[in-house]
Amino acid sequence: MSTNTYSLTISYNNAGQFSQNILHFQFDDSGFTDTASAALALCNAFDTANTTHLANLLPTATHIESYRARNVTAPGGFEALKLLSGVFGARTGNVGASAPSPVAVTFPTGNANPRGRCFLPGVTDTDMADGEFSAAYRTAFTTHSVLFKNTLTLTGGGAPVATPVIFSRKTTPGSSYTIEYVRLSDILGTQRRRQRPA
């Protein structure tokens, strides 16, 4: 093993609807015995550093259920799963529909071409009115969007540092671009297609 890119899938119950986000991290996994151990270290580090930030961007009707990670640049290993219990969003207000979503847009170092988008599940009527985000939500996003760009120090495997990246599959193998900047899209996102849990 060496420097590889891992996906981190976040699963939610958003007011009764299943939803997911996928983030990517790159790190040297050569100190771990296998990719599953490295993936679990990533799940644990993300939970410790970012669960509170994530919850502060989600409605109280959204339950963060699990983190699942796997190696995406050298496939063939097992996935790791970390189940969460009782972790709900902190944004108060009613969720009128499950499809509208705040969109975090990530930009790579050097302003390269790839952009990342993360459709956060749900927005409340307190945080969005007449197609505009409230000042309070914009402030919360500025504070808590660090979860998209902060590096994570993984326990075990020599304590490597996992760097958040935009993973592009336009090339074979895929290419990873370090995230430098994150902003909230002024336009509310709409997810028209939802994956159902297996």
The neighbouring-strand residues paired with 6 are 25, 71
Residue 64 lies in a domain: yes
Query: Whole domain around residue 183: which residue ranges?
Result: 3-190
User: In the structure, what pLDDT confidence band is assigned to residue 198 with cuts at 50, 70 and 90?
Assistant: very low
Report d(CA 170, CA 182) in Å as an integer.
22
Count of domains for the chain: 1
Residue 198 in domain:
no
**Positive or negative CA dihedral for 129, 135, 140, 143?**
positive
Whole-number pLDDT of residue 56: 97
Q: Above pLDDT 70, what percent of the chain?
A: 92
For residue 9, tell me if it sits in a domain: yes
Q: Does some domain include residue 133?
A: yes
Which letter does DSSP use for residue 40 in this model? Answer: H
Q: What angle do CA 144, 145, 151 make, to 5 degrees?
A: 105
In a domain, 196, yes or no: no
Q: Quick one: average pLDDT of 163-178?
A: 83
Pairing of strands 189-190, 100-101: antiparallel
